[in-house]
């Protein structure tokens, strides 16, 4: 029986097989799954915003892409993962409030997608698969035995499930 570990908003979890990491309610937020296939060690982070520099008083690195992803990689390495073997699967970044976030020019989902992709590229971590954008909410289940990420997306009263 696999343990299921829940990842909250602005949080992350690291584990090794057998375990499933789960996060709920990804709208404009990003879910990033990182995995080392050799050690079957992985992590899942639920990123709220792209850039911590706008918030001087933040005490939670995992809220932001620019601080959370590097910290998660460091923590994965401390659990036996090897950075050069890591790959990513990403999901989220939806536009939840209509056209360009209520006409204010704030595309938080789009900014989150760009930040995550840019940071992973800078860290030389390839993105194997992605399910990003759109207008729906997502739930992620990351199986550390197999490396499969299951994405359950609800958009316009339709439910779609992808496994990759």
Angle between helix axes 65-78 and 108-122 (nearest 10 degrees) is 40
Q: Domain limits at 80?
A: 3-163
Flag whether the pTM goes above 0.95.
no
Number of other residues whose CB lies within 10 A of the CB of residue 152:
17
Which domain CATH number covers 103?
3.30.1330.200
| Total domain count, the chain | 1
**Rounded to an integer, what distance in angstroms lies between the CA atom of residue 138 and that of residue 91?**
8
Catalytic residue among 19, 29, 44, 81: 29
Q: How many CA atoms lie within 13 A of 49 on its CB side?
A: 10
pLDDT at 150: 98
Tens of pLDDT along the chain (164 residues) come to 679 999 999 999 999 999 999 999 999 999 999 999 999 999 999 999 999 987 776 778 999 999 999 999 999 999 999 999 999 999 999 997 665 445 556 799 999 999 999 999 999 999 999 999 999 999 999 999 999 999 999 987 788 898 88
Q: Is 102 a catalytic residue?
A: no
């Amino acid at each position: 029986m696999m343990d299921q570990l829940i990842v909250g908003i602005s949080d992350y979890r690291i584990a090794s097989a057998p375990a499933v990491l789960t996060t709920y309610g990804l709208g404009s937020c990003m879910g990033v799954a990182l995995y080392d296939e050799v050690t079957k060690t992985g992590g899942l982070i639920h990123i709220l915003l792209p850039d911590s520099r706008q918030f001087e008083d933040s005490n939670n690195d995992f809220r932001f892409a620019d601080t959370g992803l590097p910290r998660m990689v460091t923590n994965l390495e401390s659990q036996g993962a090897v950075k050069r073997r890591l790959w990513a699967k990403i999901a989220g970044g939806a536009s939840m409030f209509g056209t360009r976030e209520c006409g204010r020019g704030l595309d938080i989902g789009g900014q989150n997608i760009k930040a995550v992709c840019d940071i992973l590229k800078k860290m030389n971590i390839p993105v194997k698969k992605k399910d990003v954008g759109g207008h729906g909410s997502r739930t992620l289940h990351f199986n550390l035995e197999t490396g499969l990420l299951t994405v359950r997306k609800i958009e316009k009263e339709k439910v779609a499930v992808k496994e990759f």
